[in-house]
Amino acid sequence: MTSDPTRPFGRVLTAMVTPFAEDGSIDLAGAQELAAHLVDRQSHDGLVVLGTTGEAPTLSDGEQHAVLEAVLDAVGDRATVVAGVGTNDTAHTIDNARRAERLGAHGLLVVTPYYNKPPQAGLLRHFTAVADATDLPVMLYDIPPRSVVPIEVDTLARLAEHPRIVAVKDAKGDLGAVMHTLARTDLAYYSGEDLLNLPLLAVGAVGVVSVVGHLVGPRLAELIGAVESGDLVKARAVNESLLPVCTGVFRTQGVILAKAALRELGLPAGPVRPPLVDATPEQVAQLRADLADGGIHL
């Protein structure tokens, strides 16, 4: 677990998939095995559980409780475990946050409320209410491709005044907005879009919350280290080696192909839950080729 206030949740975090059994039930032993693999063999100092890649919207509250507890039991003594608690209902999100705190989570990931399309005043009120509800540090998740509504720079500046809102997972694709926010606040930025890891790190992000991190954690750590040491030639080379992996995993919804890759590697993953669908044999064959181009042989 990190003690660096400029990097409150660590450097390399993966938005961890939730392993399911073949009948679609939660695989808690698999979740523990995968969490340990990521921390012990893939250079992760943190995990985000119950996020989008964890298929949280299709998990019941009880299932979410069980997954978080299992992961904390497996790696909570040696990695930062951030619980995805965000929904499009403020009261439900607060309940999730309080439950995560009781279970021992180290931090909260709170996504912009989706579908509702709240105005910026609504976002300010929502995030503040959640941050007020526990003593845990909060990472905002800014992802307008899913939420439609971005968290605007002025709103982020106001939210940064809250003592427990300390970080942003950025998947907005707007480097200008990131730079303006970094100039006006002390929020720690984490790249939430693997194809933009290098540019976000170059303008001041402190780490990543990755999907391809399931497969390339050590290279992500190498990328961050190269940027921080000022070796942009090396950083570009590492980044270029990762491009085929990013392409492969994101040819469709990321969790579908991340789980396919994990299954091919013999790691716990299982199927996805509806409305998602598992990768077809043709998609798996393409994934194999993409990952081979990125140095990963399934």
Of 114, 169, 172, 189, the catalytic one is 169
Of 141, 172, 189, 190, the catalytic one is 141
Of the candidates 257, 241, 259, the residue with the CA atom closest to the CA atom of residue 249: 257
- Is 209 flagged in the annotation as binding? yes
- Is 53 flagged in the annotation as binding? yes
- Residue 25 contacts by C-beta under 8 Å, 6 or more apart in sequence? none
167 phi/psi in degrees, rounded to 5? -155, 165
115 belongs to the catalytic site? no
114 belongs to the catalytic site? no
CA 172/CA 145 separation, integer angstroms: 7
SS3 content of the chain, % helix, strand, coil (to 5): 50, 15, 35
Q: Strands 165-170, 188-191: parallel, antiparallel or unpaired by DSSP?
A: parallel
CA 214/CA 212 separation, integer angstroms: 5
Name the burial class of residue 132, with classes exposed (0-12), middle (13-18) and buried (19+) by CB atoms within 10 angstroms of its CB: exposed
The DSSP element (H or E) to which 213 belongs, if any, is helix 213-229
- Residue 149 contacts by C-beta under 8 Å, 6 or more apart in sequence? 112, 113, 117, 118, 119, 123
What are the residues facing 170 on neighbouring strands?
142, 191
Catalytic residues: 141, 169
Binding residues, as ranges, are 53, 209
Binding residues for pyruvate, as ranges, are 53, 209
